[in-house]
């Protein structure tokens, strides 16, 4: 193989690392790829780390030791999170998004890969220290957000169904009470979808009173899973007391008036550097210069 230039190596390594967030690559992996010395690869990675940090593109983490290597974390800094959520709130505040019946139309944004991808990075940033083994959501609109969050963590996505599917084998089903309609509904998860005792992160698109989230928590107990955190894109301001006690809402819908065609929505409370309780915080130290 012809000797590669540093610029070529850095382009390839950047593509490989950012294409698979959180996957650990050994120095030998890249040394063999380019037929270069590990010291050369290490120098390349040091330059990449500086550039990625300087331009706020995430973080390159080095893991020491024989089993170590380097991995890419798609973390955002506080300013990036605030700017993105502020812009997203502005888009959702458009009066034409009000649907008859007093609903907020979000589907176009949720199913936009660029928007959903950024939301996944925000969740990954806020929940980074929790290190989930699975991301869990319930069909249907939460799937794109949960998938992008799972990608950012490089862990599998598990989807709870409204009812069991014969193609997924035996399942565990529970009844839960919808927090908004007070109706009894059912959710189901295939037994093979989640191993016993897994550490999970719950992600959904919308929360009114928290009935669905409460049901997801209850279903996770049936699998003896440890719920590390719960994240939703939008939470209604009322009722203030939800059926789940600890959750992160990226946006809070304070008012939706169908008659006056008015929407008031803003970034969720507590999404700041001080929101580090239960492991939620923005990346430390080396991100301060973004």
Number of Cβ within a 10 Å radius of residue 101: 6
The pLDDT-based confidence of 150 (bands split at 50, 70, 90) is very high
CA-wise closest residue to 69 among 29, 105, 102: 29
Q: Is the pLDDT assigned to residue 144 strictly greater than 90?
A: yes
Q: What local confidence, expressed as pLDDT, does residue 180 receive?
A: 61
Q: What percent of the chain has pLDDT over 90?
A: 81
Q: What local confidence, expressed as pLDDT, does residue 271 receive?
A: 76
This prediction's pTM? 0.89
Q: How far is CA 169 from the centre of its chain?
A: 28
Average pLDDT of span 267-277: 59
Residues whose CB is less than 8 angstroms from the CB of residue 195 and which lie 6 or more positions away in sequence, other chains included: 223
Q: What local confidence, expressed as pLDDT, does residue 290 receive?
A: 18
CA-wise closest residue to 242 among 182, 179, 181: 179
Assess contact for 290 and 56: CB atoms under 8 A: yes
Helical residues (DSSP H) of the chain, grouped into ranges: 6-19, 27-34, 38-54, 78-92, 107-110, 113-126, 142-153, 211-222
Q: What local confidence, expressed as pLDDT, does residue 287 receive?
A: 30
Q: How far is CA 75 from the centre of its chain?
A: 11
Q: Is the pLDDT assigned to residue 165 strictly greater than 70?
A: yes
Q: Is the pLDDT assigned to residue 286 strictly greater than 60?
A: no
pLDDT tens digit sequence for 105-116: 999 999 999 999
pLDDT tens digit sequence for 207-261: 999 999 999 999 999 999 999 999 999 999 999 999 998 899 999 999 999 999 9
Q: How far apart are CA 1 and CA 31, in angstroms?
A: 13
Assess contact for 231 and 256: CB atoms under 8 A: no
Domains defined along the chain, listed by start: 6-73 (1.10.10.10), 78-279 (3.40.50.2020)
Q: What local confidence, expressed as pLDDT, does residue 67 receive?
A: 80
The pLDDT-based confidence of 75 (bands split at 50, 70, 90) is very high
Q: What local confidence, expressed as pLDDT, does residue 11 receive?
A: 96
Alpha-carbon dihedral of residues 247, 229, 103, 157, nearest 10 degrees?
A: 180
Q: What local confidence, expressed as pLDDT, does residue 256 receive?
A: 96
């Amino acid at each position: 193989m012809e000797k590669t230039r540093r610029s070529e190596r850095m382009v390839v390594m950047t593509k490989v690392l950012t294409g698979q967030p959180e996957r650990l690559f050994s120095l030998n992996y890249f040394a063999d790829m380019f037929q270069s010395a590990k010291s050369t690869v290490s120098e390349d990675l040091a330059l990449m780390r500086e550039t990625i940090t300087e331009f706020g593109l995430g973080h390159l983490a080095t893991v020491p030791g024989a089993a170590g290597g380097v991995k890419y974390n798609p973390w955002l800094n506080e300013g990036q999170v605030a700017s993105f959520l502020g812009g997203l709130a502005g888009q959702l505040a458009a009066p034409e998004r009000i649907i008859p019946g007093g609903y907020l139309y979000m589907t176009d944004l949720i199913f936009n890969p660029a928007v959903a991808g950024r939301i996944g990075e925000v969740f990954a940033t806020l929940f980074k220290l929790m290190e989930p083994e699975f991301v869990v959501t319930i069909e249907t609109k939460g799937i794109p957000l949960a998938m992008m969050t799972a990608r950012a963590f490089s862990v599998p996505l598990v989807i709870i169904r409204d009812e069991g599917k014969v193609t997924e084998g035996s399942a565990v089903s529970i009844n839960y009470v919808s927090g908004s309609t007070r109706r009894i509904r059912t959710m189901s998860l295939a037994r093979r979808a989640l191993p016993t005792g897994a550490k999970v992160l719950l992600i959904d698109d919308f929360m009114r009173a928290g009935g669905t989230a409460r049901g997801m928590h209850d279903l996770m107990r049936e699998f003896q899973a440890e719920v590390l955190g719960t994240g939703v894109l939008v939470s209604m301001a009322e009722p203030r007391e939800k059926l789940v006690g600890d959750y992160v809402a990226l946006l809070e819908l304070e008012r939706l008036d169908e008659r006056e065609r008015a929407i008031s929505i803003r970034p969720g409370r507590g999404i700041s550097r001080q929101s580090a309780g239960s492991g939620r915080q923005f990346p430390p130290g080396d991100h301060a210069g973004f």
